[in-house]
Amino acid sequence: MIAHAKRSTGYYRWRRLLASIWKYFMLIALALILLTPLYWMLITSLKTSLQTFALPPAWVPDPVRWRNYIDIFTEVPFGRFLLNTVIIEFWSIIGQVSASALVAYGFARLKFPGRGFLFMLLLSTLMVPYQVTLIPRFILFTKLHWINTYLPLIVPTFTGSAFLIFLVRQYMMSIPFDLDEAATIDGANKLQIFWHVILPIAKPALVLVVVFTFVDVWNDFLGPLIYLNDTAKFTVALGLNFFRGARETSWELLMAAATLATLPPTIVFFLMQKQLIGGISSVGLKG
């Protein structure tokens, strides 16, 4: 009996080991498949124009042409595109964080008539596609003489995003209301409670707002394409299109520019990875 039990234990141990090996093998294979396009973008950015179209394709560039990363700044004003994008990013993040925090605080911590109806009305805007409001927004910004400026890309962020407001509101509702009552007893008003009590606790949710806004603005192509006419005001997303010629595309320069364009979102994610994952896991579905 003891020997039989040992054999059974050993059998199940080996079975679990093989199952674990198979799972890790599948995960590694899937990761390699997903990373292949990124690797191809990277090696293409280090090739010459002849190597780019070589058959069979070269998986390791020889020689490595680092000059492609210099040429993207000389062929087009790519540095200016980066600066323009950073300017829009800075004000957009300030606008989204400010609006999302304030509106979410009102829906989560304050009681007023029609709060539930207004919140449902806010969420209903998530079902309206961006393309539906595109023409009315363009007409409005034209009347305001905002076309070919950054205002159509920045000012709407100060009204907040329904999705981000929802995330922050859900997090703020998980904060005990005893903190508000204690601060009120100490003489704090609603604005002081918001600034000194709620905001420091809601930092994980605000990190989500920063990261989502950064990625959304950095990758935005349609907005700058519609509202910006001057090349000197173009963003990175529009600047990548300059490497696509009417007759010939400089694929090695396009891949070098695309590689640089992917670095800022990647860096932001890794710098805020801990807070980002913690914020997502802590945003509950209360209320």
Annotation: CATH topology of 75-282:
MetI-like fold (1.10.3720)
- Would you list the domain boundaries of the chain? 2-35, 75-282
Tell me the whole-structure pTM to 2 decimals.
0.84
Mean pLDDT by 10 residues, the chain (287 residues): 56 79 92 90 88 82 87 90 95 96 94 92 91 92 95 94 93 90 90 92 90 93 93 92 73 90 88 69 49
Give the per-residue pLDDT at 12: 72
Give the per-residue pLDDT at 286: 44
DSSP secondary structure string, the chain? -HHHHHHHHHHHHHHHHHHHHHHHHHHHHHHHHHHHHHHHHHHHTTS-HHHHT-SSPPSS-SS--TTHHHHHHHHS-HHHHHHHHHHHHHHHHHHHHHHHHHHHHHHHH---TTHHHHHHHHHHGGGS-TTTTHHHHHHHHHHTT-TTSSHHHHGGGGG--HHHHHHHHHHHHTS-THHHHHHHHTT--HHHHIIIIIHHHTHHHHHHHHHHHHHHHHT--HHHHHH---GGG--HHHHGGGGB-SS-B-HHHHHHHHHHHHHHHHHHHHHTHHHHHHHHHH-----
Give the per-residue pLDDT at 15: 79
